[in-house]
Amino acid sequence: MTDVSALNPCITCGACCAFFRASFYWTEADEQTGGTVPAHLTEPLTPHLVAMKGTTTAAPRCVCLQGAIGEQVHCSIYPQRSSTCREFPYSGENGQPNERCDKARAAWGLPPLITPSPSPVEPDSPAPPRAA
Ligand code: SF4
Ligand code: SF4
C-alpha cells in the first residue's frame, strides 16, 4: 500500500495551519462573486481582507484544521480553501525549499522536510605546490 504521507507530507503535519494567519481577499469568501470559502468560517481583517477564524490570535489554529498536528490532520474545507492555503507549498514541493514551511514545522517541534546539504568540506591545509 502506498504511504500517502510520503506523497504529501502535509497529511501528517498541519503546522502552518496553526502558525500563520491565513488571510485573503474578501471575494474568496463571497458566494456572489464566486468565492468558495464559507464566509461564516472567516472574520474581517481589513476593508479588503478576511482571515480564517482561529488564525488571528496569538496562538493560532484554523477552525478548519482537524486532527493532531504532527500526527494526522486534514482541512475540513479542503476543496474550498482559499488561494492562500492552496498556494502554500510544502518545503521540497516541485524541488523548491519553503522557509515558511520549515519555520511552522520547527515551531511545532517537527524537523524540516529537506535535510540541509552539508557545507563543502574545507581542506585541512592548502594543497602542496606542484613541481613545474
Ligand atoms: S508546514 Fe509545510 S508540511 Fe506542514 S502542513 Fe504546512 S506546508 Fe505542509
Ligand atoms: S483553511 Fe484548511 S488549509 Fe487553510 S489554514 Fe485552515 S485548515 Fe489550513
Structural domain range at position 8: 4-87
Band (94; pLDDT cuts 50, 70, 90): very high
Query: Pocket residues for ligand 2 (CB within 6 Å)?
Result: 17, 22, 52, 62, 64-65, 75, 77, 81, 85
Per DSSP bridges, beta strands 49-52 and 42-44 are: antiparallel
Determine, yes or no, domain membership for 18. yes
Determine, yes or no, domain membership for 127. no
Determine, yes or no, domain membership for 34. yes
Taking the CA of residue 62 as reference, the ligand 2 atom at the shortest distance is 6
Determine, yes or no, domain membership for 114. no
Residue 53's pLDDT is what? 98
Share of the chain above pLDDT 70, in %: 83
Band (132; pLDDT cuts 50, 70, 90): very low
Give 102-125 pLDDT, tens digit per residue.
Answer: 999 999 999 999 876 666 665 565
Query: Taking 70 as the threshold, does the pLDDT of residue 60 lie above it?
Result: yes
Phi, psi of 54 (to 5 degrees): 95, -15
Going by alpha carbons, the residue nearest to atom 3 of ligand 2 is: 85
**Full-model pTM:** 0.86
Q: Which amino acid is at 17?
A: C
Q: Which amino acid is at 70?
A: G
Burial of 76-106, coded b for 16+ CB within 10 Å and e otherwise, reads ebeebbbebbeebebbbeeeebbeebbebbe
Q: What separation in Å is there between the alpha carbon of 87 and the centre of ligand 2? A: 11
Instruction: Provide the number of structural domains found in the chain.
Output: 1
On whether the CB atoms of residues 64 and 75 are closer than 8 A, the answer is yes
Band (39; pLDDT cuts 50, 70, 90): very high
Determine, yes or no, domain membership for 119. no
